[in-house]
Amino acid sequence: MRAERERRRQHQLIDLLSDPMPGQPSTRVLAHPAPLAYCVPGIRTATVLTEGLVDALDEAELRAVIAHERAHLDQLHHLVLLAFRAWHSALPWFPIANRAERSVALLAEMLADDRARREADDDALRRAMLQVGSDGEPGAYSESGGVVPDAMMLDARLARLDDSQRPSGPLTGSAVVWAAAVIVAVPVVALVATLGAVV
């Protein structure tokens, strides 16, 4: 419920403070000098870029950033991350919950990178990541909650590009995301069933 309220508030602010980006549906541009990109999920989604980002990147780099953000929305990363965040919040003392949340947040970034690599290329994505740095996604699709230190996430993503690993296909990416959701759902369902039996 908190996540949904925050999402609605973000959409209202974006509508007030940004302008549509010509030629890019559901993409808004904020008048701000810092180079930032993020997305806001919901029934009505939005990809948000700042003027600082648009000015800093060339066409291929900008295409890579937009593809990355749209992948988060299309692949429903916010739902998977929200599930792991809730699991971690419910069991903060459980180390696996913390590690799982961090790992899934990083996995979501890498899956979004794979979409960007298909729509632009590795070099354009690498340049955009280096230009924007670790500040480029400000807790963006905000259910991520900043669980992975920005520098660590950026280093891991760049290392993956340098290894020239082939991007995963859309079916592989979707399967991995939903498998992660199932992994977190099973313990939660078991816990609820156990509590129900006790009561």
State residue 166 phi and psi, 5-degree precision.
Answer: -70, 140
pLDDT tens for each residue of the chain, 199 residues long: 887 888 899 999 999 999 999 999 999 999 999 999 999 998 889 999 999 999 999 999 999 999 999 999 999 998 888 888 888 888 888 888 888 888 888 999 999 999 999 999 899 999 999 888 655 555 444 444 444 457 788 899 999 988 765 555 566 656 666 666 666 566 666 656 666 665 5
- Both structure tokens of 145: 């909650």
The whole-number pLDDT of residue 182 equals 64
The whole-number pLDDT of residue 1 equals 80
Predicted TM-score (pTM) of this structure: 0.75
d(C-alpha 129, C-alpha 64), whole Å: 10
- Distances 44 to 27, 39, 171 between C-alpha atoms, Å: 11, 11, 24
Of 135, 140, 173, the C-alpha closest to 154 is: 135
DSSP string, 10-77: HHHHHHHHEEEPTT-TTEEEE--SS--EEEE-SSS-EEEEEHHHHHHS-HHHHHHHHHHHHHHHHTTH
CA-based R_g, the chain, Å: 17
Q: Categorise residue 100: left if φ over 0, alpha if ψ from -120 to 50, beta otherwise.
A: alpha
Q: Strand, helix or coil at 1?
A: coil
